[in-house]
Structure 1
Amino acid sequence: MIALRFHLLAAALCAAITAIPAQAQEAEDRSSLTIGVGAAYVPSYDGSDDYIAVPVAAARGKVNDFAFWTRGTSLYVDAIPNTDPNGWDIELGPAVNVNLTRTRRIRDPQVRALGKLDTAIEVGGFVGLGKTGVITSDYDNLSVRVSWTKDAGGAHKSYVITPAIEYMTPLSTTTFVGVGASAEYVGKGYGRYYYDVDAAGSLASGLPVYTGAGDDSGFKKVSMNLIAGHSLSGDLRKGWTIFALGGYQKMLGDYKRAPIVDIAGSSNQWIAAIGIGYTF
């Protein structure tokens, strides 16, 4: 992934890119690869009311029915092969995420005065269940997934749990649409690191002292997105596909009340993205 500032908001964009080959796979295609690039307009951090344009890249593929894919700055590898593309797909495997929150491109002067934070390398795993051929056709796909990762370095020293649900359906051999929703549950160390303001930070930024986000673990945000794509080659299973995405997220609880959100930012945030992908 391109190491620029975006995180779970851009995960929805990557879902759009990587959904392209999943809509209609031939049973004999035991290996495949889709790569995509695009541009997104996103908040400069979760809870910001300042927006930045960022380039993004994503990939999805499988080798002998073992799948891998990216979501934002995360990489997932499914250790259970899916040998029946028209049946149930049980997912289980490792996950790693590079958390770039507040490491660069902070537009708000008060939040910038709090200083840049360290990049967190979050390592863990995920479990999920998917089904192809659910509602509209033999090729639509419904999947649910939960990931758990923990900071393996010295940044927030806490964990992130992300439940998500996605539904994708082709409208024809050339067009697909989809909807997705996710949430983010974080440990109190995460809230303390990214959303609390200590006395020194208050003096530097003018924001009030705040310790609410670091008191307890809890849900930080919920997100929703809508996706649409169209094949330029006449077949979603190969060649070029263009896509567009729109998304919304809502900050919750003590994270919504944090000064970097309530005073310097906003609890309501939006994302827009366009891009192109290629399936080999």
Structure 2
Amino acid sequence: MKNSIFLSVALLSPIVAAPALAQDSTPAANPASSEPEVVTGGDSLSIAIGVGTIPSYEGSDTNRIVPIGVVRGSLSGINFITRGTQLFVDVVPNDPGPGFDFELGPVVGANFNRNSIKRIDDPRVGALGTRKTAIEVGGYLGIGKTGLITSDYDKLSFSVSYIRDVNNAHKSYLITPQLDYGTPLSRKAYVGISANATYAGDGYAQTYFSVDAPGSLASTLPQYSAGKGWKNYSISGLATYSLTGDLTHGLSLIGGVSYSRLLNDFAESPVTRIAGDRNQWLGAIGIGYTF
């Protein structure tokens, strides 16, 4: 998941990660076969909504329930997907079916970490004050291979994203390499796993994990100066099951869970070490519809 804790919507990504499959329109031609067929392309739209549990702020030891959603589509060979509060657009058209898939495009999103006192459960962290909403803009590139291990329709991909705040909130950057693997179990079921790590700049560390002298006096937390470095790693699992058709159309049930562990200065900060927890858990369940 990009941007770690605050992108729990990515847990609903099975609906957008499933490969292009289709049910044979003439089953009598091969009644014993349960293998899906490759779709030859075309426009599509998938929408999912649900509820999730996420930490009240990055580094918190308490979770809150939030509504979540995701949208994914393909229009004239240009693919787009929302992952949490970020929009990814892949501007490189690729042929459907087995083979390599190259990805390149812009990323734009918002980071709402600690932007509202109502969403900060720990009064000590609340006493440090709220932060501006960060508007983060950047890009990503990646490569994937479809038809690798279990069938012609599983996919392994690797990508790297870079985003920078342009709203003078944390005035810094995040770099996230990510590895994803997903496979359909049948026409109706799909599972996937992913792993990523995020490197954060000095501005991000100072904004969300440092405690200055006035903040220490107000919150009783000790002073601390956090610096750039690897912020966290995350491991996620997800699944979807079609309720009305197959993975390419109709209603689906979707769920996922993610574990993230804060590292280095981000874990040693009093915001995490004293007032929170370096271990971060997220979960989500919802329904989706593919048109």
TM-score category (smaller protein): over 0.9
- With over 3 angstroms needed to count, the CA separation of the structure-2 counterparts of 1:82 and 1:154, relative to structure 1, is same
Aligned partner of residue 13 in structure 2, secondary structure: helix
Q: Give the structure-1-normalised TM-score.
A: 0.93
- How much has 1:83 moved relative to structure 2? 2.3
- How much has 1:17 moved relative to structure 2? 3.6
Distance in 2, matches of 1:137 and 1:155, equals 45
Distance in 2, matches of 1:222 and 1:238, equals 33
Aligned partner letter, 1:103: N
Residues 125-178 of structure 1 show CA distances to partners (whole Å, capped at 9, x for unaligned) of: 000111211110111111111100111111111101011111111111111111
Q: 2:189 aligns with which of 169, 172, 175?
A: 175
The 8 Å contact of residues 31 and 63 in structure 1, kept in 2 or not, is answered as yes
Gaps of 5+ in 2: 23-37
Aligned to 2:97: 85
Gaps of 5+ in 1: 1-5
The 8 Å contact of residues 16 and 81 in structure 2, kept in 1 or not, is answered as yes
- How much has 1:66 moved relative to structure 2? 1.0
Residues 97-136 of structure 1 show CA distances to partners (whole Å, capped at 9, x for unaligned) of: 2011111211111011111100000111000111211110
Q: Which moved more, 1:83-92 or 1:269-278?
A: 83-92
Aligned partner letter, 1:12: A
Aligned partner of residue 198 in structure 2, secondary structure: strand
Distance in 1, matches of 2:20 and 2:57, equals 32
Aligned to 1:197: 211
Q: Give the structure-2-normalised TM-score.
A: 0.89
Distance in 1, matches of 2:270 and 2:189, equals 43
Tell me, yes or no, if structure 1 residue 100 matches structure 2 residue 95.
no
Tell me, yes or no, if structure 1 residue 222 matches structure 2 residue 233.
yes
Aligned partner letter, 2:164: K
Distance in 2, matches of 1:160 and 1:257, equals 19
Distance in 2, matches of 1:42 and 1:223, equals 14
Aligned partner of residue 57 in structure 2, secondary structure: coil
Aligned partner letter, 2:183: T
Tell me, yes or no, if structure 1 residue 52 matches structure 2 residue 64.
yes
Aligned partner letter, 1:16: P
Aligned partner letter, 1:159: Y
Distance in 1, matches of 2:9 and 2:231, equals 16
Q: 1:149 aligns with which of 141, 163, 183?
A: 163
Distance in 2, matches of 1:240 and 1:39, equals 17
- How much has 1:85 moved relative to structure 2? 3.2
- With over 3 angstroms needed to count, the CA separation of the structure-2 counterparts of 1:265 and 1:17, relative to structure 1, is farther
Q: 1:110 aligns with which of 121, 124, 143?
A: 124
The 8 Å contact of residues 6 and 54 in structure 2, kept in 1 or not, is answered as no
RMSD: 1.3
